[in-house]
Structure 1
Amino acid sequence: MVFSSEHLQSRLTSIKELERLKTILFNFGISDISVIVYLRRPAELANSLYATAIRSGSLLTSPPPPKDNYFNNICNHKNTIERFASVFGPESIVPRIFRKNDFINESIINDINYIIGNKCIDEYTIPSDANRSISKLGLKILRNINKKIPVFIKNKPNPLRMDVVNYVDKYFSDEKYIIQSSLYIDYDIEFISSDTWVRDNYFPHKEDIFSREIPLKNKKIIQENLILKK
């Protein structure tokens, strides 16, 4: 059985919570457990987390600094691995680099099936990527919508939201939003010791587990910045 959820990392932040998860799995008869954890460059994680936050109704104008508790928990891969290893055992941890070139056949679906030993992957119909990258202008528009039309009203979903996020995703996804270069550097510096620990313990053949290149804002993003300034 494959049980996949990013909330296992972001929400279960204590040993006690993970021990409860382990007990629940054991009660279902699941005792042979492998923890497959996909590791992404912290700056890229911050970029993605921020876009997700805006989609979920946040009013943040930019990603928080790397010491923010929520972002720090998700970006500190050493802490994540040690936390899960302390409950499920070091031998259960299977770290993977979240990068297309590192996936088996450049597919995360193929990659997971390879790890779990599923040899029937060739019989599957692999769906196309569904995730859309939202642009800076799209995030700006959606953030302003969040101010006027909140996601929840009295703890209930706001019916006025309907397909707002899907609409913005559809028409403002030409160029991916990229956090400012200074934040890229801040996140790289903050988690370099964590990343180095992961490399030394699981990927000693790699010089670095992540690219340290700072993405350049292309012409489309520069044009959007000019629109925002107006």
Structure 2
Amino acid sequence: MNDFANAKDFLLLADSSQRLGLINTLKQSIAPFSYQSGDQRFLLSSPYLQSEILEVHELHVLQASLAQIGFSQVKVIIYLRDQIGLASALFSQLVRQGAGISSLPFPEDSSSYGKYFKQICDHRSTLERFAAVFGEENLIVRLFHPQILKNKSVLEDFLDIFSLAWSEAFVIPKADTKAFAKPGPELLGRVNQKIPPSPSLARVKLRELIMESFEQLFTAQAYEFSSELFQAYLAAYAEPNEWVRKNFFPKRSQLFPSRAMPEKTTRDLSEQELDNIANMLADLWLEQEKT
């Protein structure tokens, strides 16, 4: 099945006629397959299942909804990514969506964004949450890393879970987003504070122009962590990662391949410099929106 929409929005409809309507719609979509012989398997996919459903009681609502739709058994496939790559990708994703976050938070950051990053990056917490609802025996945990994925391909690795062979006839979707290089996310987060997303046609077109500009300028290289931030992330998640390794990957000597601190190739801009550049860009774009 296609992407499972916005899982958080679905859960917020709990005990409402809209939610029951969506459940009935999903029932109808799988009804044609229910008459086929043999076991039927369906795939419900969404990045929001991990990034937005952060409470156990929300997962219980999801579990109950899946039972109402008619699923008799649920397996949860979870890909874990090393926290350095995950945090930089999450930072870019948030500012692409219009968030006004202006810096990648340290693991100990107590702000709302800091807490959100910690919830996403703490893989032990994620696995314990899903295991508490669906059962650890129903978790299929894989590692998202080129050195570990089958043939260095997440698609081939995913097919391997279902013992399906790769076919050259498959239509491979083009990757639509890349993580921004520094200082792209810092600038875009500041621009978002002055030009937040809006449903107006003029703002939608302006946001498209802004994103095109950032795509051209800041996707050629990987995001560069400062030495302090790099070490903070390694230290903060060393213990949770070791717990995951022992419980799910006991044959591995460490959960993820080691990451070396990347060589610095750009000068970090000061907060004032970032503010000045973002303000200038926002003012120019806002003037363009008026024309």
Structure 1 position 174 matched with structure 2 position 220: yes
Q: Which moved more, 1:115-124 or 1:83-92?
A: 115-124
Structure 1 position 75 matched with structure 2 position 85: no
Listed as ranges, the gaps of 5+ residues in structure 2 are: 1-41, 109-113, 278-291
Match of 2:211 in 1: 165
The CA distance in 1 between the partners of 2:199 and 2:169, in whole Å, is 46
> 1:98, CA displacement in angstroms?
0.8
Listed as ranges, the gaps of 5+ residues in structure 1 are: none
Provide Cα deviations, 1:42-99, integer angstroms capped at 9, x if missing partner.
2222222112222222333321121332111111111111111111111111111110
Match of 2:13 in 1: none
Task: Provide the aligned C-alpha RMSD in A.
Answer: 2.6
Q: Given the superposition, is the C-alpha separation of residues 63 and 112 from structure 1 closer, same or farther in structure 2, using an over 3 Å criterion?
A: same
Tell me which amino acid in the other structure corresponds to 1:76: D
Rg: which structure is higher?
2
Provide Cα deviations, 1:169-216, integer angstroms capped at 9, x if missing partner.
133211122221211211221111110011111111111112332332
Match of 2:57 in 1: 16
The CA distance in 1 between the partners of 2:141 and 2:100, in whole Å, is 33
Match of 2:231 in 1: 185
CA contact (8 A) 1:184 1:214 kept: no
Q: Given the superposition, is the C-alpha separation of residues 20 and 147 from structure 1 closer, same or farther in structure 2, using an over 3 Å criterion?
A: closer
What does residue range 84-95 of structure 1 map to in structure 2 within 5 Å?
84-95=130-141
Structure 1 position 2 matched with structure 2 position 47: no
What does residue range 42-61 of structure 1 map to in structure 2 within 5 Å?
42-61=83-102
Q: Which moved more, 1:203-212 or 1:161-170?
A: 161-170
> 1:35, CA displacement in angstroms?
0.9
The CA distance in 2 between the partners of 1:183 and 1:133, in whole Å, is 17
Q: Given the superposition, is the C-alpha separation of residues 15 and 164 from structure 1 closer, same or farther in structure 2, using an over 3 Å criterion?
A: same
Structure 1 position 216 matched with structure 2 position 262: yes
> 1:37, CA displacement in angstroms?
0.7
> 1:153, CA displacement in angstroms?
7.4
Alignment TM-score, normalising by the size of structure 2? 0.69
CA contact (8 A) 1:54 1:139 kept: yes
> 1:8, CA displacement in angstroms?
0.9
What is the percentage of aligned positions where both structures have the same residue? 30
The DSSP-based 3-state class of the residue aligned with 2:78 is: strand
CA contact (8 A) 2:159 2:165 kept: yes
Q: Which moved more, 1:160-169 or 1:22-31?
A: 160-169
The DSSP-based 3-state class of the residue aligned with 2:67 is: helix
Compare relative contact order (CA 8 Å, sep 6+) and give the higher one, 1 or 2.
1
Q: Which moved more, 1:92-101 or 1:23-32?
A: 23-32
Provide Cα deviations, 1:4-58, integer angstroms capped at 9, x if missing partner.
2221112111221101111111122112211111111122222221122222223
